[in-house]
Structure 1
Amino acid sequence: MTTVTHVRLEHHEPGRLGIGEARPRISWHIVDAPADFAPHGAEIRVSRTLRGTTTESTHALDGSDQVLVDWPAAPLASREAVAVSVRVSDGEKWSDWSDAVTAEAGLLQADDWKAVPVGSADDPGEGPHRRPERVRREFTLDGPVTRARAYVTAHGVIELELNGQRVGDEELTPGWTSYTHRLRYATFDVTDQLRAGANCAGAWLGDGWWRGRLGFAGGLRDIYGDALGAIVQLEVELEDGTVQTIVTDSEWQAGSGPILMSDLYDGERYDAREEDAGWSTAGFDASEWSPVAVRDAGTPEMVAPSGPPLRVVETLSPVEVMDRGDGRFLLDFGQNHSGRLRIKASGPEGHTIRLRHAEVLVDGELCTEPLRTAEVTDEITLAGEDVDWSPRFTIHGYRFAEVSGWVGDLTPGDVVSEVIHSDMERLGWFATSDERIARLHENVVWSLRGNFVDIPTDCPQRDERLGWTGDIQVFAPTATFLYGVTGLLSSWLQDLAAEQDELDWVPPYVPYIEIPPFDAMTHDPLAVWGDVASLTPLVLFERTGDLALLRRQYESAKAWLASVEANAGDDRICADTEQLGDWLDPNAPAEDPTKAMTDRYLVATAYFAWAARRLSQTAAHLGEEADAERYAALADEVAAAYADRYISADGTVDGDSQTGYALTEAFDLWPSPEIREKGTTRLAALVDEADGRVSTGFAGTPVVTDALSRTGHLAEAYRMLECEEAPSWLYAVKNGGTTIWERWDSLKPDGTVNAGDMTSFNHYALGSIADWMHRVVAGIEAVEPGWKRIRFAPRPGGDLTSASATHVTPYGTASISWTLSDGEVHVSATVPVGATAVMDLPDGTVTELGHGTHEATFALTADGAL
């Protein structure tokens, strides 16, 4: 029987509190529909509640839309809760109503906010680490509580308690936005934590990104301010219908706590002897606490989240414990990840346990050189009682940990690792018969997880962890297949647009902070990196169908291309500008990754042509026909200039590098089919000459296998994929890597670290190969926005005997699997209701598919060639 499932509002998880959309768009899946089912319409039932009053309405929709359908009812008011159910019709029969998805609007108007930032009135002082404060307030509620919400944010990071209990399960609230432009808040249901009579609210504060250390070579502190501030607004509805509001104001008190320092890079120091049980409960003796200082709120817009919060999403136990004696243990958790340790320990009063973290071991000990100046060390000083403790306001990237100062034996469960990242919905999976390639894909997944920590960072471990634009630009196609990243990236792109508008420049990382050496960088348009402004919104639209996101980022995209065009000049060549080029080309000197084989201006000009071509497509989607024509003409001009400058008549691309040929093919820059054939044949020859080794950096890696597979050189593409010798994707797998490395050979064959002051073992950019694995190895891709139309085109090769991929599209689950046996390949593909597909097989067979599961078989030749 036809059933409606997976109803969603915008890109939010079900039950999300405090959404910022007054008219949230609605999506749903249709499952178990008969083969001849075609949706002809839908009804949306909206139940809404505000201040104890509930109303219900039903809205009829014509047509087959089921993805990001416009809100059919009156706009939501601030604080209004909503439950939405959907049913669909084939024109004759209606399905049952879906389960309701719930959400609640946040504080949608600026004047809804009454809370102001409060913190300690003491001088925060100077020095590398300052003790963060806590704030508290006791209050009385005049009757039983029927509904209560806490709206929470901070200058810094915050964790709220009510009557001695933690509020919610979010970590590092409110996350990192461009604080000078936008400050996000979180919303919590605290109905069950309040009672009639005396109550108390208390908030822990930490430095976080607000005043903590950020950047390289010692970095900078106090970037957004030197003082912390809690911003809390409690709104409590009582049984008699009255509302009591308790906000951070001058009535609160401030005092110190057991956290002596907290820093995202350096870790947390905690003294259990300073604990004061009951500090966030009514009746606590707060005589030593002081009146708070009321801070200037500043000018940022208070915004609701569009993506998921940070949470503890998994707990890992060590796979090996190495006793080094004298209370020192090395723990291997078997997986590089972002998170923190949790310990259950005991020891005498005043005894300190120290926790250190690293991604790899060298000579059997933690290798801390790649961490640069980040201490990544947590400490707890015991009070003579058993503790169950983890740091509150720090996060590390690591596989290995050293525990020192341990008293007695370290037994199972004493030390575990809590994996922390943005709690995104998993959408995509991949499997294959080759365990090495399956592990490579798993490494990509874990690198995504470790670096989607509220913003898309470059790495989670060293003194950096910035939202590098180039990394996510090349990785976005992979990320959107694997996880629901659109809400998170939507927020980040809004920060990018705000920074761009202020700086008249797309900076190399967002949020942008002027840290050396980038504070001295000229504001030239930085190809690959700045192209995120125009390329990534279009990728998100193509994967989700979110036209509103594309529209919102359109001015940013146009401003980016205008800056490229202005700097290129009339000859359309991006010369004499500051560029990073094919960053981390393995042929470049370890100490200077910019010195790649491929001319940096070739890379920049190729991207100029591609950005113009893609912006033309964006304009067409938005109905901006004049813009679409102009940008298409510009793309043609740049392509012609590129071919004239960089391509010879014999198909040789300037520099004769894998990246040069790959970009030329991927961005359709060949001047003729004949030259294209010569050029791509040369690319395949370069791969063969290198025995399948990779010779590309950030610019070439995402496109090199595509450039081969789509021009008749599938065997060479598989040769690259299956190569185990450095530089290659499987080199890291062969050498025990569990995430994607920043450099192809971050760990050398002799066990030493390559360029330790700039080597990360958790950088997802080179993992962009996974997008090709999904589309070509397994054979599944979206060919119309939002996966409205799907292409199944498996291209078996190499030594693989099977592959499969599954993706939860906006319409429902799509999947493909193929197996090779006795010279025949059997394919099974599933199309969700609401989408159509084409099956494109290597033997030339092309078949149209409706929803449901479809089977096909094709033969390989005797030598395994297609």
Structure 2
Amino acid sequence: MALEVTRVRIEHHAPGRIGIGETRPRLSWQIAGAEPGFVQREVEVRLSRTMPGESPVTGVIALEGPDQVLVPWPGEDLRSREAFEVAVRVRDAGAWSAWSDATVAEVGLLRADDWSARPVGAAGDPGAGPHRRPERLRREFALPAGIRRARAYVTAHGVIELEINGQRVGDEILTPGWTSYRHRLRYATFDVTDLLRAGDNAIGAWLGDGWWRGRLGFGGGLKDVYGDRLAAIVQLEVEAEDGTVARIVTDDSWSAGPGPILMSDLYDGERYDAREEGDGWTLPGYAAEGWAPVTIRDDGGAALVAPTGPPLRVVETLDPVAVEAKGEGRYILDFGQNHSGRLRLRADGPEGTLIRLRHAEVLVDGELCTEPLRTAEVTDELTLAGGSTEWTPRFTIHGYRYAEVSGWPGDLAPGDVVSEVIHSDMERLGWFESSDPLVDRLHENVVWSLRGNFVDIPTDCPQRDERLGWTGDIQAFAPTASFLYDVTGLLGSWLQDLAAEQIEYDWVPPYVPYLEIPPFDKLPRDPMAVWGDVALLTPLALFERTGDRGLLERQYASAQAWLASVEAGAGPDRICAGTEQLGDWLDPNAPPEDPTRAMTDRYLVATAYFAWSARRLARTAEHLDRPDDAARYDALADEVTEAYAARYITPDGRVQDDSQTAYALTEAFGLWPDEATRERGTARMAELVDAADGRVSTGFAGTPLVTDALSGSGHLEAAYRMLECQEAPSWLYAVLNGGTTIWERWDSLRPDGTVNAGDMTSFNHYALGAIADWMHRVVAGIEAVEPGWHRIRFAPRPGGSLTHAAARHLTPYGEASISWELSDGTLAVDVTVPVGATALLDMGDGERELGHGTHRASVAWPPAG
């Protein structure tokens, strides 16, 4: 196989992305076909740049060295609207590879003065009431012949979908997504060249409440969080063959009118009357009766920013696996998988027929169980105009496995109702499999919970009246998420919002974007461990998986500010007492009505995290070449560790509260005062697991750590016992009881088949799925030990009943994989190392160095001694 360069990438963007916001985007590439011993020594980057109205400029830039991941931009700064192509070739001391395929991208609008569009919406009072009818906007315009290039730059106060000449623009859902709108409003960029024509044209915008003025939060939530009026911001730029540019922007020349969407809410659903559609409303010459001039809105002051992550899209379509007719046009549909999405209908019925769609995660006695949804109505309604129609709600999204369709005209035929799976369109990076179908289903549940909750931000749940960016959830889950999907662009954007709100509130809120929702609006602005630690631990986790030093640098001040607040709250004794803490949230031993009443003292949890975050910030400082900071934070970590041991650990190795979480934190965070105490303490941890027959006794703080703490301290079988336990509370209990995603509570569905009556009972929460990270690193045995997977450790540790496991991950250098089989006392392992990376293989009998390529080895198992 010839040497070749593949997969040239620009930042964390998908190939072909237009509207990026980086002036100096970093480049990455992979290498295939390299002979053993190959080391990249020279690189040539062929860069072609084109500004609208100008001829392309192409040059070749020479680089030296082995770097191939997030390599600094080799050219001059990019400008607004500039398109570019990048191709790469490499060599060691021999012949050059062929040039890679060119990767293309295009810059968006970088400066405030690039925008001439204004926010516009319907004039007059927006009205009161729980839901208001969103408007549509339109404008007609003429263009000359010879259109070379056209771009639409689009955002909204609310959510928006654009049409030009009767055709939908793009395939994004809920544009522009949810950012902290007070600080940052994202925009999207679309290539609309093929939708325009010489002569008369028309452009129109659908608007919906979205996160701008829709209901947000629990306990009834808040409305009009960012404003009570919707607005579109659209800038259409059309370049003619002669180089002239026409700009059609939102201004007072647009008009607003009613549409068929009667109400649109993320929690409560959408009501749509097809009789109000107004056929041809985005075609030239439409008789816009009842439409009126728009009014220009205040722009709100937020910076317009380009996306760093992928948009929301329909990524998959599910057919129902079962349909039960209930009579009189009512059906219960089972899609076989809990997910986030919406239904798509193909209906044919008389004018005025009302079809109602309701959604739920579980059934009770054959009917939708809506109690866990709290006040979210999650109901969509379609009124038919007569005849055949295809319809899906535009501006709402639900979390469900089951749907009730009522009012259906005639018989429901196959294909009449399908479910569109919607989430951020991230690239899948990681996979796992084993010899146990239940363990594999557990892993699949983790994947689906990630998919259901990465809906532009990392939410806690996709179904009820909440769906917030809880910081503790993603802090626990980020290592798992970054193995399974390319989440760096999405989380990088969310972390920028976190930093902005941290400055505004002088506090890392428990969820981001932050809303002052009772009772959390009454919280003291204390540093809450596990949750606030996201500001420090998650950027470092992303750096370790991607090598993105720029992200780490950008979030460093936020991480420092977080740790400073913890230090101030702890005081000179270094014990985090007297501050507001959520502790080991959702410990299964806590009463359903008060998930903070865990077995483990909340201040023990907070102090353990204080020590760990100080240590991790020292490592962050080292990565950023800040030795003085590293020394200072290491010294602080030493002080906290000493204080923790003195306060919480007895000489015989017992930790206060004698709980799985207390021991897991102490072991995973390296808080034992000496090795002898560690041996006694970790033995006690294993005793607790055995006494519980492998049942889990940890919440948000302990669950991501407990199996690591066991396997890392010589108690591998106890860890496997927890993994394979089938009794509640355990991971496989949910699998055996029909769970297709990770549950919020270990017993969201109780052994007697009833739904947990607690106020928080979600069947799609990813936090407790953090076990998958241990499955990847320890069960399968694949781990990054240098940032960006530059160095890999393969160290499978078979245990329990498993006779096989495998995992693979698309690292920045290429695919790394491991597969092992255990048979007749022999462990056989196959691994793949991508070009540009090196690896260690540890099969319990010492370590061996591996270069790129495929390797096979076998040893007696278990190893002697």
State the TM-score, normalized to the length of structure 1.
0.99
SS of corresponding position for 1:605: helix
Q: Percent identity?
A: 75
Using the TM superposition, give the Cα deviation of residue 241 of structure 1 relative to its aligned residue in structure 2, in angstroms. Answer: 1.4
Q: Distance in 2 between matches of 1:195 and 1:834?
A: 48
Q: Distance in 2 between matches of 1:439 and 1:486?
A: 26
Q: Residues 86-101 of structure 1: matches in 2 within 5 Å?
A: 86-101=88-103
**Preserved contact between residue 369 and residue 756 of structure 1 (Cα < 8 Å):** no
Matched residue, 2:20 = 19
Q: Distance in 2 between matches of 1:300 and 1:51?
A: 27
Matched residue, 1:262 = 264
Q: Distance in 1 between matches of 2:32 and 2:660?
A: 45
Using the TM superposition, give the Cα deviation of residue 601 of structure 1 relative to its aligned residue in structure 2, in angstroms. Answer: 0.1
Using the TM superposition, give the Cα deviation of residue 292 of structure 1 relative to its aligned residue in structure 2, in angstroms. Answer: 0.2
The CA deviation string for residues 79-121 of structure 1, in whole angstroms up to 9 with x for no partner, is 0001100101112210000011110000011100110110100
Matched residue, 2:386 = 384
**Preserved contact between residue 592 and residue 758 of structure 2 (Cα < 8 Å):** no
Matched residue, 2:331 = 329
SS of corresponding position for 1:738: coil
Q: Distance in 1 between matches of 2:3 and 2:697?
A: 51
The letter for the 2-side match of 1:368 is T
Matched residue, 1:151 = 153
Moved more, 748-757 or 607-616: 748-757
Q: Aligned to 2:130, which of 128, 131, 144?
A: 128
Matched residue, 1:776 = 778
Matched residue, 2:627 = 625
The CA deviation string for residues 809-855 of structure 1, in whole angstroms up to 9 with x for no partner, is 0111000000111111100010000000000112x231000000111
Moved more, 143-152 or 653-662: 143-152
The CA deviation string for residues 462-517 of structure 1, in whole angstroms up to 9 with x for no partner, is 00000000000000000000000000000000000000000000000000010111
Q: Distance in 2 between matches of 1:856 and 1:3?
A: 28
The letter for the 2-side match of 1:470 is G
Using the TM superposition, give the Cα deviation of residue 385 of structure 1 relative to its aligned residue in structure 2, in angstroms. Answer: 1.6
**Preserved contact between residue 780 and residue 818 of structure 2 (Cα < 8 Å):** yes
Matched residue, 1:475 = 477
Q: Residues 197-208 of structure 1: matches in 2 within 5 Å?
A: 197-208=199-210
Matched residue, 2:735 = 733
Using the TM superposition, give the Cα deviation of residue 3 of structure 1 relative to its aligned residue in structure 2, in angstroms. Answer: 1.0
**Preserved contact between residue 432 and residue 805 of structure 2 (Cα < 8 Å):** yes
**Preserved contact between residue 787 and residue 810 of structure 1 (Cα < 8 Å):** yes
SS of corresponding position for 1:341: strand
**Preserved contact between residue 371 and residue 757 of structure 1 (Cα < 8 Å):** no
Using the TM superposition, give the Cα deviation of residue 288 of structure 1 relative to its aligned residue in structure 2, in angstroms. Answer: 2.0
Q: Aligned to 2:703, which of 690, 701, 704?
A: 701
Do structure 1's residue 245 and structure 2's residue 254 form an aligned pair? Answer: no
Q: Distance in 2 between matches of 1:289 and 1:127?
A: 23
Matched residue, 1:367 = 369
The CA deviation string for residues 380-428 of structure 1, in whole angstroms up to 9 with x for no partner, is 0111121100000000000000000011111110000000000000000
Q: Gaps spanning 5+ residues in structure 1: where?
A: none
SS of corresponding position for 2:162: strand
Matched residue, 2:824 = 822
Matched residue, 1:38 = 39
Q: Distance in 2 between matches of 1:797 and 1:415?
A: 44
Matched residue, 1:836 = 838
SS of corresponding position for 1:380: strand
Q: Distance in 1 between matches of 2:640 and 2:268?
A: 47
The letter for the 1-side match of 2:60 is T
Q: Aligned to 1:710, which of 709, 712, 717?
A: 712
Using the TM superposition, give the Cα deviation of residue 570 of structure 1 relative to its aligned residue in structure 2, in angstroms. Answer: 0.4
**Preserved contact between residue 818 and residue 829 of structure 2 (Cα < 8 Å):** yes
The letter for the 1-side match of 2:738 is G
SS of corresponding position for 2:387: coil
Using the TM superposition, give the Cα deviation of residue 122 of structure 1 relative to its aligned residue in structure 2, in angstroms. Answer: 2.3
Q: Residues 419-438 of structure 1: matches in 2 within 5 Å?
A: 419-438=421-440
Q: Distance in 2 between matches of 1:42 and 1:339?
A: 44
**Preserved contact between residue 593 and residue 759 of structure 2 (Cα < 8 Å):** no
**Preserved contact between residue 833 and residue 851 of structure 1 (Cα < 8 Å):** yes
Using the TM superposition, give the Cα deviation of residue 551 of structure 1 relative to its aligned residue in structure 2, in angstroms. Answer: 0.3
Do structure 1's residue 766 and structure 2's residue 768 form an aligned pair? Answer: yes
SS of corresponding position for 2:630: helix
Matched residue, 1:227 = 229
Matched residue, 1:273 = 275
SS of corresponding position for 1:783: strand
Q: Residues 300-315 of structure 1: matches in 2 within 5 Å?
A: 300-315=302-317
Q: Aligned to 1:647, which of 642, 649, 661?
A: 649
The CA deviation string for residues 67-87 of structure 1, in whole angstroms up to 9 with x for no partner, is 000010111110000110010
Using the TM superposition, give the Cα deviation of residue 283 of structure 1 relative to its aligned residue in structure 2, in angstroms. Answer: 0.5
The letter for the 1-side match of 2:37 is D
Q: Distance in 2 between matches of 1:220 and 1:17?
A: 35
Moved runs in structure 1, 4+ residues, more than 2 A? none
Q: Distance in 1 between matches of 2:753 and 2:514?
A: 36
**Preserved contact between residue 566 and residue 610 of structure 2 (Cα < 8 Å):** yes
Matched residue, 2:111 = 109
Matched residue, 1:29 = 30
Q: Residues 540-579 of structure 1: matches in 2 within 5 Å?
A: 540-579=542-581
Q: Residues 284-683 of structure 1: matches in 2 within 5 Å?
A: 284-683=286-685
**Preserved contact between residue 186 and residue 304 of structure 1 (Cα < 8 Å):** yes
The letter for the 2-side match of 1:547 is R
**Preserved contact between residue 778 and residue 795 of structure 2 (Cα < 8 Å):** yes
Q: Gaps spanning 5+ residues in structure 2: where?
A: none
Q: Distance in 1 between matches of 2:243 and 2:608?
A: 64
The CA deviation string for residues 641-689 of structure 1, in whole angstroms up to 9 with x for no partner, is 0000000000000000000000000000000000000000000000000
Q: Distance in 1 between matches of 2:111 and 2:510?
A: 33
The CA deviation string for residues 766-790 of structure 1, in whole angstroms up to 9 with x for no partner, is 0000000000000000000010000
The CA deviation string for residues 164-198 of structure 1, in whole angstroms up to 9 with x for no partner, is 10000000000000000000000000000001110
Do structure 1's residue 73 and structure 2's residue 75 form an aligned pair? Answer: yes
Using the TM superposition, give the Cα deviation of residue 36 of structure 1 relative to its aligned residue in structure 2, in angstroms. Answer: 2.3
SS of corresponding position for 1:674: helix
Using the TM superposition, give the Cα deviation of residue 275 of structure 1 relative to its aligned residue in structure 2, in angstroms. Answer: 1.1
Q: Distance in 1 between matches of 2:289 and 2:312?
A: 35
The letter for the 2-side match of 1:586 is P
SS of corresponding position for 2:349: coil
- Between the two proteins, the alignment pairs up a number of residues equal to 863
Q: Distance in 2 between matches of 1:339 and 1:387?
A: 20
Using the TM superposition, give the Cα deviation of residue 287 of structure 1 relative to its aligned residue in structure 2, in angstroms. Answer: 3.6
Q: Distance in 2 between matches of 1:865 and 1:508?
A: 48
Q: Distance in 1 between matches of 2:288 and 2:765?
A: 47
Do structure 1's residue 10 and structure 2's residue 11 form an aligned pair? Answer: yes
Q: Distance in 2 between matches of 1:334 and 1:142?
A: 52
Using the TM superposition, give the Cα deviation of residue 143 of structure 1 relative to its aligned residue in structure 2, in angstroms. Answer: 2.4
Matched residue, 1:851 = 852
* Root mean square deviation of aligned Cα: 0.8
Using the TM superposition, give the Cα deviation of residue 37 of structure 1 relative to its aligned residue in structure 2, in angstroms. Answer: 1.3
Matched residue, 1:173 = 175
The letter for the 2-side match of 1:283 is G
**Preserved contact between residue 262 and residue 393 of structure 1 (Cα < 8 Å):** yes
**Preserved contact between residue 48 and residue 56 of structure 2 (Cα < 8 Å):** yes
Using the TM superposition, give the Cα deviation of residue 753 of structure 1 relative to its aligned residue in structure 2, in angstroms. Answer: 0.7
SS of corresponding position for 2:35: coil
**Preserved contact between residue 608 and residue 669 of structure 2 (Cα < 8 Å):** yes
Using the TM superposition, give the Cα deviation of residue 756 of structure 1 relative to its aligned residue in structure 2, in angstroms. Answer: 4.6
The letter for the 2-side match of 1:424 is M
SS of corresponding position for 2:403: strand
